[in-house]
């Protein structure tokens, strides 16, 4: 038993914003209205009734984007209507639903969070104590205010390398949301100029959702075969149309070391070529063997 849901429409003004193709993201004034289409798919092998409804969410300082339980509402959900609010879908069938958000004239200024949920559940017998419910949702990030949209921005500091007690190398950095809107951070890390001239990456970076004024730790977990030593790290983090790059010399080893001479700057997103640590190490060992063999 499974259900899928995805956003169909994104504003033309945000067509270059990857987040706006996954979530309902916009800035509107009090009294204004926006509409989005959402596609819902029955991914199970049986016919199901699908219920659609909005529910509250928050952006927590520590836990990121947090869903409220059940159908808990908030100011944003009071503005949301869904047409239709219920579907009956055959296996693998998809239907589109209009989501309309009409902001109240006296709406609270700031960013509001919620989720449009699609929910299915099997027929429930009154005698049963437990009811299985499956749902999937599309997040909503709606900024409300009479003026222009608040700026999105963030700062990256403290690029650090270490090896955990389990022997796994990690690279972390502190990220602070310095703008006025929530961020959904994704990123890549590449390493170069390591021991013997080795390079490695790109590695995925986890950072999650960060609210305005909040901070988080971005973390990349590396291959445990990565040798100890000093490396040049390049961390690229992106949220929507905002990107920041931090570079610096870090030490991978039993004692963590922070970056030296690193900098953070705006740049165009580029994905570096993957250089296998194992393959590079093997070539280095082979070259060393040949030099000693023919001396």
Q: Report the CATH number of the 154-288 domain.
A: 2.60.40.10
Query: For the whole model, what pTM was predicted?
Result: 0.81
* Interstrand relation of 134-144 and 24-28 (parallel, antiparallel or unpaired): parallel
Which sign, positive or negative, has the C-alpha torsion 107, 117, 64, 211?
A: negative
Q: Do the beta carbons of residue 208 and residue 216 sit within 8 Å?
A: yes
Q: E-assigned strands of 148-182?
A: 154-163, 169-177
- Cα angle: 189, vertex 194, 200; to 5 degrees: 40
**3-class secondary-structure state, position 172:** strand
Local confidence pLDDT in tens for the 295 residues of the chain: 699 999 998 888 898 899 999 999 999 999 999 999 999 999 999 999 999 999 999 999 999 999 999 999 999 999 999 999 999 999 999 999 999 999 999 999 999 999 999 999 776 555 666 667 899 999 999 999 998 999 999 999 999 999 999 999 999 999 999 999 999 999 999 999 999 999 999 999 999 999 999 999 999 999 999 999 999 999 999 999 999 999 999 999 855 444 444 444 333 323 333 334 444 444 344 444 444 443 4
Backbone angles phi, psi at 191, to 5 degrees: -120, 140
Q: CATH classification of 3-144, choosing from 2.70.70.10, 3.40.50.12780, 3.30.565.10, 2.60.40.10?
A: 2.60.40.10
Q: Do the beta carbons of residue 82 and residue 53 sit within 8 Å?
A: yes
Distance, CA of 224 to CA of 170 (rounded, Å):
9
243, two tokens: 């990107």
Structural domain boundaries in the chain: 3-144, 154-288
């Amino acid at each position: 038993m499974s259900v899928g849901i995805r956003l169909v429409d994104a504003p033309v003004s945000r067509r270059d914003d990857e987040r706006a193709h996954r979530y309902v993201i916009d800035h509107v004034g009090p009294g204004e209205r926006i509409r989005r289409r959402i596609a819902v798919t029955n991914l199970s092998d049986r016919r199901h009734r699908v219920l659609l409804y909005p529910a509250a969410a928050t952006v927590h300082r520590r836990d990121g984007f947090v869903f409220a339980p059940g159908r808990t509402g908030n100011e944003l959900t009071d503005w949301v209507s869904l047409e239709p609010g219920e579907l009956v879908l055959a296996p693998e069938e998809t239907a589109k639903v209009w989501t309309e958000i009409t902001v109240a004239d006296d709406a609270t200024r700031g960013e509001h969070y919620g989720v449009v949920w699609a929910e299915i559940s099997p027929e429930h017998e009154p005698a049963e104590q437990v009811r299985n419910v499956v749902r999937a949702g599309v997040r909503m990030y709606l900024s409300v205010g009479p003026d222009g949209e608040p700026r999105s921005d963030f700062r990256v500091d403290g690029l650090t390398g270490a090896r955990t007690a389990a022997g796994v190398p990690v690279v972390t950095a502190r990220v602070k949301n310095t703008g006025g809107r929530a961020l959904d951070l994704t990123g890549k890390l590449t390493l170069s100029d390591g021991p013997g001239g080795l390079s490695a990456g790109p590695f995925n970076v986890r950072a999650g959702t960060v609210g305005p004024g909040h901070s988080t730790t971005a973390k990349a977990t590396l291959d445990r075969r990565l040798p100890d030593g000093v490396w040049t790290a390049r961390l690229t983090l992106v949220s929507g149309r905002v990107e920041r790059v931090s570079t610096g010399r870090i030490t991978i080893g039993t004692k963590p070391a922070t970056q030296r001479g690193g900098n953070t700057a705006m740049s165009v997103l580029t994905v570096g070529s993957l250089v296998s640590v194992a393959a590079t190490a093997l070539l280095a060992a082979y070259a060393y063997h040949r030099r000693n063999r023919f001396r």
